[in-house]
């Protein structure tokens, strides 16, 4: 589900899970996502795609296009899942959005 829709839906359906994910984003903002050491929380998926993991909540992200040294973190797509392994369709969708954003 597109990131904004996913976050709004999560906040409305399970506010506690939303708050946990919010805490992870807050932490990423404080130290920079690349400096979060816990592989349970931030994972590299390859080819510029990453994910924030907060228990069953997964938020795909990538770095935005740069303007000099300015880059932002773009939240692409979100899914709720129990297993660690992603469905190929979820990954494909996230990569598609990432390509779209970086064109």
> How far is residue 42's CA from residue 88's CA, in Å, rounded to a whole number?
19
Nearer to another protein, 35 or 44 (CB): 35
Are the CB atoms for 4 and 12 separated by under 8 Å? no
Nearest approach, Cβ of residue 76 and another protein (Å) = 6
User: Which tokens is 100 given?
Assistant: 């779209």
Q: What gap in Å lies between CA 17 and CA 53, rounded to an integer? A: 11
**Beta carbon of residue 46, minimum distance to another protein (angstroms, whole number):** 18
Smallest distance, Å, CB 3 to another protein? Answer: 6
State the residues that interact with another protein by CB under 8 A.
2-5, 7-8, 11, 15-16, 18-20, 22-38, 40-41, 54-55, 61, 63-64, 66, 69-77, 96-97, 100-101
Which residues does residue 54 pair with via DSSP β-bridges, in sequence order? 57
């Amino acid at each position: 589900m597109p990131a904004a829709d996913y976050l709004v839906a999560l906040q409305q359906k399970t506010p506690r899970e939303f708050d946990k994910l919010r805490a992870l984003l807050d932490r990423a903002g404080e130290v920079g996502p690349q400096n979060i050491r816990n592989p349970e929380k931030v994972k590299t998926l390859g080819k510029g795609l990453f994910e924030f993991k907060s228990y069953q909540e997964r938020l795909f992200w990538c770095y935005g296009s740069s303007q000099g040294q300015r880059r932002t973190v773009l939240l692409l797509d979100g899914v709720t899942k129990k297993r660690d392994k992603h469905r190929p369709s979820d990954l494909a969708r996230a990569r598609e959005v990432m390509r779209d954003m970086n064109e």
